[in-house]
Amino acid sequence: MSTPTSRAALLALAALSSADEWPQWRGPGRDGVWKEDGLLEAFPEKGLGARWRAPIGPGYSGPTVAGGRVYLMDRRREPEDGERVLCLDRETGKVLWTHAYPCSYAGIGYDAGPRCAVLVQHGMAFSLGASGMLFCLDAETGEELWSHDIDAEYGIDMPVWGIAAAPVIEGDLLIVPASAEDAYLIAFDVATGAERWKAFDDGGNYSAPIVIDQAGERVLVCWSAGRVLGVDPATGKLHWEVPFEPKNVPLGIATPVLYEDKLFFTAFYDGSLMLRVDHEEPKVEELWRRVGQNEVRTDALQSIIATPLIRGGHIYGVDSHGELRCLEVESGERVWEDLSAVPKARWANVHMVQNGERTWMFNEKGELILGELSPKGFRELARTKILEPTREQLNERGGVCWSHPAYAYRHVFVRNDEEVVCYDLSAK
């Protein structure tokens, strides 16, 4: 374990990456918002030409972009079974460094590769693999600074589809949804990798945590196999909890969404849950909870992969078979449903990012869609194919593109199981 003393000074000076980068899961604010301007309003008739392409292995890990570099993870089966962290030049796609290590996918379903996006902050790149291998790497050189084999050290109660919830940094702590037997959450010192706290014996889920401001405090919001928790990120102390027991297997993938004083959760089998956040003291109340008869006859929103967007008093999300829906925030009542964003199929997916009044949508067929979402409906402005579906992530319907894109420097960065591709989205 390497722990350079310069890291302490770096931590004291470091700040979140600027808004024109995408340094973590769902962007700078971890909220699916892209703030750059000067973007295309339509696509060329002949489509977008790739700025560069780079070959990679399979994996679900979406790209992240910081410091002029692109980071992602993939799986390698030769010369031994394992995972890699890759760092590429964002201008050319040239591989600047890789960090490869052996690991086993025994007992992990859908074994295409790592799930979590690489988190880049404080000059370090933090990666978490599907089997629980956690690394802190120098973001510039790839040098290993510290690491943990969470399964070997803590004993993971492995979720069916492996470790998928992207860690979050709060202050000087890296907080990991570890799904360990007596430590659902583990907080590590960012600079040294030392354990600072661990808490809860909940089973694991796949939803990445967020941190919110509540009643003058920072509160970590996370979703385990059976409940939603509000936690003091500095100590692991429980502020509040709301039961959210699965009626089948735990399958919460979408990230919690904060909108004004509300928190929204959606699950494939278990429907939608809306909480109201109390800003006088750290507690919440349930506003509504809706679930259909099953994952086909759904109510409100029963998402599988994509995290919804909430704006203007309405929720916009993708239901269990790819149905794009608009719901009222206050009640969960459906306003409209649209079937044009992606072909209807079980687990069909569209990743959505908000940029001003426009929504950038990337569907599982590899199409980039520019549109507008409002209570009046979905208005498609432009659509173009930018990536070919591949079969490692899902060997059905000709393959899929399930990894979340990164939007940075007025470019989009997308990956499948064979390549990562960069396209220029700036207005000419």
Q: Please list the pLDDT of the chain residue by residue as tens digits (428 residues).
A: 444 434 444 443 343 344 589 999 999 999 999 999 999 999 999 999 999 999 999 999 999 999 999 999 999 998 899 999 999 999 999 999 999 999 999 999 999 999 999 999 999 999 999 999 999 999 999 999 999 999 999 999 999 999 999 999 999 999 999 999 999 999 999 999 999 999 999 999 999 999 999 999 999 999 999 999 999 999 999 999 999 999 999 999 999 999 999 999 999 999 999 999 999 999 999 999 999 999 999 999 999 999 999 999 999 999 999 999 999 999 999 999 999 999 999 999 999 999 999 999 999 999 999 999 999 999 999 999 999 999 999 999 999 999 999 999 999 999 999 999 999 999 97
Distance (Å, whole) CA 156 – CA 11: 30
Given a contact cutoff of 8 angstroms between Cβ atoms, the answer to whether 184 and 199 are in contact is: yes
Q: How far apart are CA 118 and CA 365, in angstroms?
A: 24
Q: Write down the pTM of the prediction.
A: 0.95
Distances 172 to 169, 194, 234 between C-alpha atoms, Å: 7, 11, 9
Spatial contact of 412 and 404, defined as CB atoms under 8 Å apart: no
Which tokens hold the place of 400? 């899929």
The ranges assigned to domains in the chain are: 6-424
Cα 72 to chain centroid distance, Å, stands at 12
In the β-sheet with 69-76, what is the strand arrangement from edge to edge?
A: 64-66, 69-76, 82-89, 95-102
Q: What is the pLDDT of residues 152-168, one digit of tens each?
A: 999 999 999 999 999 99
Distance CA 61, CA 328 (A): 31
Cβ atoms of 134 and 125 within 8 Å: the answer is: no
Q: Which residues contact 377 (CB under 8 A, 6 or more apart)?
A: 326, 336, 338
Superfamily of domain 6-424: YVTN repeat-like/Quinoprotein amine dehydrogenase (2.130.10.10)
Q: Is 368 exposed, middle or buried (CB count within 10 Å of its CB: 0-12, 13-18, 19+)?
A: buried
